[in-house]
Amino acid sequence: MDVVARAKAFQESVRPRSREIEEARRFPADLARTMAEAGLFRMAVPRSLGGLEVEAATLLRAIELIGEADGSVNCQWLMGGSAILEDGKPRLLPNGMLDSRLLVFPTAQATLIDSWFAAGLCGTGSGDMEVRELRVPVTRSVSLVTDRPVEGGPLYVFPVFGLLALGIGAVALGIARAAITDLVALAGGKKPQGSTRTLAERATAQTALAEAEARLRAARAFFYEAVGEAWARATGAGDISLEERAALRLAATHATRVAADVARTVYDLGGGSSVHLSSPLQRRFRDAHVATQHVLVSPATLELAGRVLMGLPTDATML
């Protein structure tokens, strides 16, 4: 199954409905069914469980294409956590982190709270949940910090936080690519106030767009280079080194930050046309900047990568 081709085809179903998705603040059920039928929810599921278990670069390329259509479509399931208490106090791991676990239980046993009123990525359907007096067997729980995957394929050798961060970076790259496409479509017909030339004919716009394109391509090249090197190590040695894990996080954070910068550049180039809700440029701008606020691509990840580059002792738990 060519999931990249299917993600590309899926774009055509999503693009015309971006305004609807944003206003509803959730993903339409019919599009979710289309996505499921295309196998896009099974890309990272092990083959042993009926999934596709695609290569990391394939997974991320498909996510990037979906993010290009609409950044909000990157989030289609809700995850929460629960701290383990002992004597009324949170239990800590040896490194001082909370000993928290993810618990799997039917949706009907949780109360979903409609609390996602955000500046960007409005249609993700994110929010809070409340669960009361629910007992979950330990076999339906997992720690993302201390537990290890039971599957042995190279995709599951990737660090879980690193792979999650790469997903955010892939979405951001898609948003930035779409922003450039939107600007080019606008520039050919827009004449800035007081000008006899279209925006596309102005040297300042040409230069700014060229620089944005170069920055985006460079960040994307580093992103997929880091993924490729980690994949080669995972398929060969069966593990991923600390240096490669740090490179994955650095590439993800860098891609997300550059994508936001590119979205800002094309938003500025669009001038007054960018501010209208009917303009996709303002949505790309908001979505790209909200993506930068995720903890997995925060400035703290740069410190982690920097410590590894310096050869200093590093707590690699979150890498």
For residue 70, the domain's CATH number is 1.10.540.10
Rounded to whole angstroms, the maximal C-alpha distance in the chain is: 74
Residue 158 maps to a domain: yes
Number of structural domains (the chain) is: 3
Which residues make beta-bridge pairs with 99?
none
Domain boundary among 142, 169, 184: 142
Q: What is the rounded end-to-end Cα distance, in angstroms, of the chain?
A: 31
CATH of the domain at 252: 1.20.140.10
Whether 272 and 247 share a structural domain = yes
Q: Is residue 136 located within the same domain as residue 172?
A: no
**Helices and strands, number each (H, E), in the chain:** 9, 7
256 belongs to a structural domain: yes
pLDDT at 315: 85
Regarding whether 247 and 134 lie in a shared domain, the answer is no
Same domain, 279 and 135: no
Residues 227 and 293 in one domain: yes
Closest-CA residue to 296 (of 145, 175, 171, 166): 166
Let me know whether 212 and 276 are in one domain.
Answer: yes
Q: Give yes or no for a contact between 63 and 164, defined as CB atoms under 8 angstroms apart.
A: no
Say if residue 44 is in the same domain as residue 137.
no
The confidence score (pLDDT) of residue 96 equals 77
21/56 same-domain check: yes
Angle at 257 between CA 300 and CA 120, to 5 degrees: 100
Q: What separation in angstroms does the CA of 101 have from each of 79, 98, 135, 152, 241?
A: 11, 9, 13, 22, 25
**Domain-terminating residue out of 74, 103, 133:** 74
Residue 117 lies in a domain: yes
pLDDT at 127: 85
Domain region containing 29: 3-74
The three-state DSSP-derived secondary structure of 199-268 is HHHCHHHHHHHHHHHHHHHHHHHHHHHHHHHHHHHHHHCCCCCHHHHHHHHHHHHHHHHHHHHHHHHHHH
Instruction: Assess if residue 234 is contained within a domain.
Output: yes
The pLDDT of residue 78 = 59
Q: For 197, which DSSP code?
A: S
Q: Are residues 70 and 95 in the same domain?
A: no
Same domain, yes or no: 181 and 232: yes
Among candidate residues 25, 41, 74, the one where a domain is terminated: 74
Residue 148 lies in a domain: no
**pLDDT score for 144:** 82
Q: Tell me which amino acid residue 154 is.
A: P
Q: How many CB atoms lie within 10 A of CB 82?
A: 14
Q: Is 149 inside a domain boundary?
A: no
According to DSSP, the residues that pair with 90 across neighbouring strands are 85
Does 191 reside within a domain?
yes
Tell whether 147 is covered by a domain: no
CATH of the domain at 136: 2.40.110.10
3-class DSSP state of 292:
coil
- For residues 243 and 273, state if they share a domain: yes
Are both 94 and 213 inside the same structural domain? no
Structure tokens at 236: 């060969």
Confidence (pLDDT) at 81: 64
Q: From first to last of its 319 residues, what are the pLDDT tens digits of the chain?
A: 799 999 999 999 999 999 999 999 999 999 999 999 999 999 999 999 999 999 999 999 999 999 999 999 976 665 666 677 788 888 887 777 777 788 899 989 999 899 999 999 999 988 888 999 999 998 998 888 888 888 889 999 999 999 999 999 999 999 999 999 999 999 998 777 767 789 999 999 999 999 999 999 999 999 999 999 999 999 999 999 999 999 999 999 999 999 999 999 999 999 999 999 999 999 999 999 999 999 999 999 999 999 999 999 998 887 8
CA dihedral 54, 58, 64, 66 (to 10 degrees): -50
